[in-house]
Structure 1
Amino acid sequence: MDLDPDLAALRALGGFFVLRTAGAPAVRPPALAQAYAHHGEEVYADSITFRVHAVADRIHASELRVSASVAQQAFAARLWSIALGCAVLYGSVPDLDPRLLHWDAAVSAPDDLWLAEVRPRPADAESVADLVVRGHLEHFTAVLHARYGVAEGLLWGNAGSALAGAARELERWARGAGTDAGARAQALAAELFTHPRLAATGTLTGSAFRRRSCCLYYRVPGGGVCGDCCFTRAPWSSPGAASG
């Protein structure tokens, strides 16, 4: 099935999978290429910095590296959800070039993304990784590591966790819809985990993923460890243990 201009098939999958395409917003949010290229030092100088501070306020995080991690994992989940959803439902994916993909960092969750033009690209693992990993996550990771000192291994662990989560959600939806989209999503995810950036992030067994790092959510007031965390309980006695 060819990509339609509205990517309407994604709507059935839920908010993390939906990508706005039709019509320019009244106020067009900046393209992600601008955020990746910005090197200003003001607190709200660009979308990424704004998002990290907004998330910190929302989750009451006292450490910006924690809100940076939470923001990045949510953003990665959006990208993987869109890419995997299109891959298994359409057999192709839209070009997610940072110059075409716009991000409204002020919207809470899921991240509000708008694609200026739908250009079909192949849905094989290499092409999807090129769009998501090279096109976005390498830039996002570099910014957060440089500005907030978040360990790169932690951030790539977030990316792996988000990929596994998107595949599981597709599998859950497919079971209810009576399609084989879930199996195709898991097969694509398994192939994506062979990418050098993702291979060391954890272990994927079927749809279950166990990461080798911690996203630091346990440091959020009232937070704890996630289901795929490397820890079985919050490491309160050694706060620095989850930094990598």
Structure 2
Amino acid sequence: MVLLLFVDLDPELAALRPLGGFFVLRTGGAPHGPLPTLAQAYENPATEVYGNSLTFRVRVVADRLQAPELRIAASIAQQALAARLWSVALGCAALYDRIPDLDPRMLHWDADRSAPDDLWLAEVRPLPADALAETVLHGHLEPLNAALVSHYRMSTGLLRGNAASALAGAARELDRWARARGRTEVATRARALTAELFADPLLAGTGTFTGTSFRRRSCCLYYRVPGGGVCGDCCFTQPPGSSRNAASG
């Protein structure tokens, strides 16, 4: 039997700090002044092409990666944001047995920065760990996906595949961190929570999750970025058209 040793959910989410990267979440006031919330980012991006933080983020990603189409940048931006949300929520659930209320109206976003400085939670209010799906999938990823589908004509299946890939990546990193430190109870808890999330109807058809390994049934389009390739969990084993290009070259 594995003994689960949880700590209290503290106002600074200090237990996440040793994990680093996408797991860290700033709390309290944003140090760079007022920032828009994620709730504002999900609202009507089509009517605020230059003022909405979501469309701004997509353009930032497009410029940084030299993406040939905005929908490619939109896919990559969405997967990165999904990875941030899953990492914070899953990390807290595994370490605290609680998650912070990530209400989009309390979660502020600096769309010009990268993790971990991009998100600030105004107030830490604890929720039970079984609120993971409601908090991240329904509270964030569905409205985010709806905004991207509406504005960039994205595929819902692609975006849900991105969400699943981001979840699997967060689970894999958390498992690796926990096992390296002998925290087998954290690794076990994280795998169990992740398996439950993959049973949700919004993620169930996105790919195959076994242990900490995931193979998705869609592609995030990263291979279309200059110098890009296929990701480790991609449905493709090589970029589409690469074999034909090699033969013709």
For Structure 1 versus Structure 2, the TM-score category normalised by the shorter chain is over 0.9
The residue matched to 2:209 in structure 1 has which SS? Answer: strand
Matches within 5 A, 1:123-134: 123-124=129-130, 127-134=131-138
Shift of 1:28: 1.9
Distance across 2 between alignment mates of 1:4 and 1:31: 22
CA pair 111-64 structure 1, distance change in 2 beyond 3 A: farther
Preserved CA contact (<8 Å) 1:101 1:113: yes
SS at structure 1 position matched to 2:40: helix
2:94 to 88, 91, 102: 88
Summarize deviations over 1:153-175 as a string: whole Å, max 9, x none.
Answer: 00000000000000000000001
Contact 2:207 2:217 in 1 (8 A): yes
Tell me the SS of whatever aligns to 2:127: strand
Who is 1:172 aligned against?
176
Residue 241 of structure 1 corresponds to none
- Supply the distance in 2 between the matched residues of 1:174 and 1:164 (Cα, whole angstroms): 15
Question: What TM-score, normalized by structure 1, do the two folds share?
Answer: 0.93
CA–CA distance in structure 1, aligned partners of residues 87 and 237 of structure 2 = 27
Following the alignment from structure 2 to structure 1, what is the Cα–Cα distance between the partners of residues 211 and 149? Answer: 31
Q: Which residue of structure 1 lines up, in the alignment, with residue 3 of structure 2?
A: none
Rounded Cα–Cα distance in structure 2 between residues aligned with 1:78 and 1:145 = 20
> 1:213 offset after TM fit, Å?
0.2
Secondary structure of 1:199 counterpart: coil
Rounded Cα–Cα distance in structure 1 between residues aligned with 2:63 and 2:32:
27
Contact kept, 8 Å, 2:35 with 2:108, in 1: the verdict is yes
Q: Distance in 1 between matches of 2:175 and 2:54?
A: 31
Q: Is the 1:75–1:111 Cα contact (8 Å) retained in structure 2?
A: no
CA distance in 2, matches of 1:177, 1:237: 41
Partner of 1:104: 110
Structure 2: how far apart are the matches of 1:40 and 1:65? 14
1:212-227 matches, within 5 Å, as 212-227=217-232
Query: What RMSD over aligned residues (CA atoms) do the two structures have, in Å?
Result: 1.5
Query: How far apart in 1 are the matches of 2:115 and 2:180?
Result: 25
Displacement of 1:186 after TM fit?
Answer: 1.0
Q: Does 1:235 align with 2:240?
A: yes
Q: Secondary structure at the match of 2:21?
A: coil
Moved more, 229-238 or 193-202: 229-238
Aligned to 2:15: 9
The number of residue pairs the alignment matches comes to: 236
Q: Deviations over 1:39-84 (max 9, x none)?
A: 4534322010000000000000010110000000000000000001
**Residues 1:160 and 2:147 aligned together:** no
Q: Trace 1:109-148 onto structure 2 (pairs within 5 A).
A: 109-110=115-116, 112-124=118-130, 127-148=131-152
Q: Of 195, 201, 210, which residue of structure 2 is paired with 1:190?
A: 195
What TM-score do the two structures reach when normalised by structure 2?
A: 0.91
Aligned-residue offset at 1:136: 0.4
Letter matched to residue 123 of structure 1: A
What is the identity, as a one-letter code, of the residue corresponding to 1:53? Answer: R
Q: Identity of aligned pairs, percent?
A: 69
**Alpha-carbon contact 1:171-1:186 (below 8 Å) kept:** yes
Between 22-31 and 86-95, the greater mean CA deviation after superposition: 22-31
Contact residue 43 and residue 147 of structure 2 kept, 8 A:
no
Aligned 8 A contact 1:70 1:215 in 2: yes
The Cα of 1:22 is off from its aligned counterpart by 3.5
Distance 1:218 1:110 in 2: 25
Structure 1, unmatched stretches of 5+, are: 239-244
Contact 1:105/1:111 (8 A) holds in 2:
no
Q: Which has the larger radius of gyration?
A: 2
Report the counterpart of residue 242 of structure 1 in structure 2.
Answer: none
Gaps of 5+ in 2: 1-6, 244-249
Counterpart AA for 2:161: G
Deviation of 1:35 (Å): 1.4
**Any idea what SS the aligned residue of 2:151 has?**
helix
CA contact (8 A) 2:217 2:234 kept: yes
